[in-house]
Structure 1
């Protein structure tokens, strides 16, 4: 038995017609089941009910076992002093208030309608993909639209938490935080953490000082990435090596202790190329944070797409191995990943903190970007879930990780809809 099922039963009043009684034998007549907030504190706020003909107003706490009250240390938490009813599945222990009086307790399993319990057990069957896979195609397109927008806003709030944490580390320096997180996403999943370490070792103020000298920028990023330590006869390598030695001493820099990953990466995703694309963008774009500060700029131009690696890297993926000329500019698909995972979330947080309501504008941007393609989006397509934009793909990725994988079916609009049917 899961606590979310008990929340569902109480929230949607899925009780049979049997008169309710506490384990103490007192009759309960509920006027208001309370408001479910899903935050710290009692599960349902501001409930109203008659218990033994006396009207009570307060909060309702729900547990699988009555003893969970003490397991969760509610007896010492002031937030639970106003609980008027303890709703449990198993009454394995009497629960007392701080003043020694017993809290009225309702054993919910005595009052759950049989069809509700049967429907819940259908969800518990082991699925191939997700628990509602046999029913999800009954969820209509309008309901999907509303649910995806809610999921996308939850996703943006998740991004908000990360950005707020980053701001704390940079003493509320928006530009530095954006620089770190943008560079991190240039490294994608495999080298993202490594690129983030580069950003911490190589602060933005130093990058700005050397911004107009592309060779200096290349030396700074490759040197900090520990990619200029080998011995080779490559002339450009030796030039950058000497340049970095000078800049390292000038700015008292340190290098990342480890090395980035090349293994199993396509050459266009090699860390050398992604770093050089970032260098090209920084070299051409003096005001990096304008991508966040002015959301409308994304509609008329995108400076990132103009970032082409320098001449040496147009004929090299690594030092010393030449190939035919390729410009290796940032592709539209890679640019979209940066938009989805860094630029748009930063716009959302920055303008929300300025008091500007940009939610609709941000959601429209997500709707204008093609959906991502991966094993999870492929699975939802197989289940006939419509995916036509990055808002759709981001929503189902968030849904899978934060609802399906942790079995939050009864907090999900799809699960609630199917259970109510």
Structure 2
């Protein structure tokens, strides 16, 4: 058993309240269970309880064993002085506040129907990647739909939060934050870390100063990535000369080549080709962050990322290696990936920062208009009969799996809650 089961039991009051009393024998009446606290401090805030003849307003702390209070050092933490009731599965020791006063304890191990605990254990011990797979068909579609909507919003808030951290760490500059997020997105997982290193090692003010010149942008990006050390053909040598000048001017230190991965990749996805595409995008859209906020259609967002590369890169995927086919820029699938992983998080971050929910709604609407893509996460739910119909569904499934299913966090999931409630109704 984990504490989340007791959180659930307390929050929904799924225990026998007949002759409810503390371990010291004082009668307990729950007037308000309190609000679940996701921050530091006691588990439930603003609870109202009658213990004995006195009505208390304060917090409730939940543990499996009363001794966990001491294990977590709450007896030395003033935040826990406001606890008016310690709810535990087993009361093994008395507990005190910082001033030495005893905390009333409510023991639940003999008040919870063991069949409810058995349902919880089935979820916790499930072998399927989706813990509730055996119960999924029993859950109403509306419950699953609402939970997926919640998981989508939570995922967008999480991704937006990552962009906000970048924004704050770079002096509250949105264009800088968008630049970093853009480079991270261009890594497409395989080379994500290397692209992040380029973003960290190449000051954005340098990029901004040379955005009007595509050749210089290519030189900065490819040079900083470490790809110009062995320039071969004439164009590569021209890029090398540009980078050498800019490197000395701005005291730049290029990345070692070992950071980059070319294995098991199509030539169109090589990091050299991606860097050329990135240069074209930055050149054609110098106010990238503003473009993200103001672009108004899904097609325009995809066009934003599918910028036309220079003539050299239309015929090359590596420096000195000519391609048999002509490629003007990024493919549609890759452009959609960047809309999802760059544009949408930026919109979510700005919605959070500005307080204008319209940008979050814009992000969700954008995802709803983009085509779904089957992946290992959506396939887990497809096995249960659910089907993604848009990129929004993909992100919702990803959010649901990563935040809830993979951690067996069923007690915080509406689907898991519904299963437990249905089981409770049959007891």
When normalised by structure 2's length, the TM-score is 0.93
Residue 269 of structure 1, CA deviation: 1.1
Give 1:169-188 correspondences, 5 Å limit.
Answer: 169-188=169-188
CA RMSD of aligned residues (A): 1.9
Partner of 1:131: 131
What SS does the aligned partner of 1:31 have? strand
1:224-251 CA distance string (max 9 Å, x none): 100011264x222222222211222233
Give 1:336-415 correspondences, 5 Å limit.
Answer: 336-358=336-358, 359-415=360-416
Gaps of 5+ in 1: none
Task: Tell me, in whole angstroms, the C-alpha distance in 2 between the residues paired with 1:231 and 1:317.
Answer: 14
Contact 2:3 2:64 survives alignment (8 Å): yes
Partner of 2:149: 149
Closer/same/farther in 2, CA of residues 83 and 11 from structure 1, 3 Å limit? same
What SS does the aligned partner of 2:89 have? strand
Task: Tell me, in whole angstroms, the C-alpha distance in 2 between the residues paired with 1:131 and 1:265.
Answer: 34
Residue 4 of structure 1, CA deviation: 0.2
Partner of 1:39: 39
Partner of 2:425: none
Higher mean C-alpha displacement, 183-192 vs 160-169 = 160-169
Residue 306 of structure 1, CA deviation: 4.3
Contact 2:3 2:62 survives alignment (8 Å): yes
Matched, 1:333 2:333: yes
Partner of 2:217: 217
When normalised by structure 1's length, the TM-score is 0.94
How many pairs are equivalent?
420
Give 1:292-331 correspondences, 5 Å limit.
Answer: 292-296=292-296, 302-331=302-331
Partner of 1:58: 58
What SS does the aligned partner of 1:22 have? coil
Contact 1:369 1:390 survives alignment (8 Å): yes
Contact 1:74 1:80 survives alignment (8 Å): yes
Partner of 1:192: 192
Residue 295 of structure 1, CA deviation: 4.7
Higher mean C-alpha displacement, 138-147 vs 272-281 = 138-147
Residue 349 of structure 1, CA deviation: 1.9
1:356-414 CA distance string (max 9 Å, x none): 22233322222111223221111211121231112211111122122112121111111
Matched, 1:108 2:108: yes
- Whose RCO is larger (CA < 8 A, sep 6+)? 2
What SS does the aligned partner of 2:239 have? helix
Task: Tell me, in whole angstroms, the C-alpha distance in 2 between the residues paired with 1:295 and 1:95.
Answer: 58
Higher mean C-alpha displacement, 57-66 vs 281-290 = 281-290
Contact 2:160 2:352 survives alignment (8 Å): no
Contact 1:277 1:309 survives alignment (8 Å): yes
Closer/same/farther in 2, CA of residues 43 and 305 from structure 1, 3 Å limit? closer
Partner of 2:243: 244
Closer/same/farther in 2, CA of residues 21 and 90 from structure 1, 3 Å limit? same
Matched, 1:12 2:19: no
Task: Tell me, in whole angstroms, the C-alpha distance in 2 between the residues paired with 1:268 and 1:378.
Answer: 27
Contact 2:306 2:332 survives alignment (8 Å): no
